[in-house]
Amino acid sequence: MKEYTLKYGCNPNQSPAYIRMADGGDLPFAVLNGRPGYINYLDALNAWQLVKALKKATGLAAAASFKHVSPAGAAVGLPLSETLKKIYFVEDIEGLDESPLACAYARARGADRLCSFGDFIALSDVCDVPTAQMIAREVSDGVIAPGYQEEALAILKQKRKGGYAVLQMDPEYEPKHEENRDVYGITLTQGYNDGIIDESLLGHVVTKKQTLPEGAKRDLLLAMITLKYTQSNSVCFVKDGQVIGNGAGQQSRVHCVRLAGDKADLWHLRQHPKALSLPFAADIRRPERDNAVDAFLSPDAETLLQDGRWEHLFTHKPDFLTRQEREDWQKQLQGVALGSDAFFPFSDNIDRANLSGVAYIAQPGGSVRDADVIQACDNYGMVMALTNVRLFHH
């Protein structure tokens, strides 16, 4: 196919709109179902690059959940604990344990379920039935993958009353070296960002503590690859093969760290026994359940869920977390990896990262205050590698 006509561009008043190759050649993907929109394609093509790079870097099945041209979550296909299955609401997915791809998407979607609402999904491998079953019951705009099992495709085609967007990407496609963008009728040209992210970038460790365990290396690669396709400025927190907090598109780097750290903290709090035992009403829908969990875990939970506001969510009033319980649980979040798409200008970034259990950091370096940042890492016993590679994405 050489061209698809779109309903409109970013907004309904932006017509005409279409997608095609600049050289008039065939597009490297096929639309198997639905009618993707302009923003869907931006999400799909960015997300596909992420999972393709992640699969190449780790050898593991990978998945990403994209919203508005940044990943809400990304992960590799490591097995899920019973606790993670519960907080991701996937305990009942048949065949989940035998599908690394389904585990990857459960992790990618579960990292930040509120931001993943209405996502576009990318899968590194052929979509199987457990993955399709999971996607089928979430609020999502579409999926891109290198292929689909017949039964999986049939499941996806039933979603959104038959209008769910399903794209099949040519896994062998490679873009031309130059890419163009038109802004206000003016064309900008740059070289395609084909920089390779692998373990060679983690060799320059500058802190007193030098050892990067294998799991930390994998997580730092995941963080950096995620950042490569995240709107800048951006900082990414990763633990055990999945993004647990992505701070995207902030003008100040410390705001990126705060945003990502807050998301990581919330991800960890979702695993608290009181959150796991919430007495949900039988008829509560999945998105409402996500909102209810976040309201329950808010520091203002007792105000948000005061009498009269919780009855339709729970069978009885929940047992709220005390401040001390919250603080004690938070201390258990450890071993987190952090990637930054550019250097840290001040050590306050490290101070905030420490509050969310960060132990390993990869960042380009090059700030006039690198020594202050390194000293802060040493004060907290962190390991930091300077990659000398900036990962801005706009």
Residues annotated as catalytic are: 67-68, 233, 394
Tell me the residue type at 309.
Answer: R
Determine which helix (DSSP H) or strand (DSSP E) holds 257, and give its type and residue range.
Answer: helix 253-269
CA distance 110 to 107: 5
End-to-end alpha-carbon separation of the chain, Å? 28
CA distance 276 to 21: 49
What residues does 76 pair with on adjacent strands? 62
CA distance 23 to 188: 17
SS3 content of the chain, % helix, strand, coil (to 5): 35, 20, 40
Task: Give me the DSSP letters along 185-224.
Answer: TEEEEEE------SGGGG--B-SS-----HHHHHHHHHHH
Tokens found for residue 171: 């896994």
What residues does 205 pair with on adjacent strands? 385
Alpha carbon 357 to chain centroid, angstroms: 19
For residues 287, 293, 297, 301, the Cα torsion angle rounded to the nearest 10 degrees is: 90
Q: Are 88 and 144 in contact (CB under 8 A)?
A: no
Using the Cα atoms of residue 350, residue 351, residue 352 and residue 355 in order, give the sign of their dihedral: positive
CA distance 262 to 60: 28
129 backbone dihedrals φ, ψ, rounded to 5°: -65, -45
Q: Are 143 and 104 in contact (CB under 8 A)?
A: no
Angle between helices 38-58 and 214-228 (to 10 degrees): 150
CA distance 372 to 97: 45
Q: What is the DSSP letter of 251?
A: S
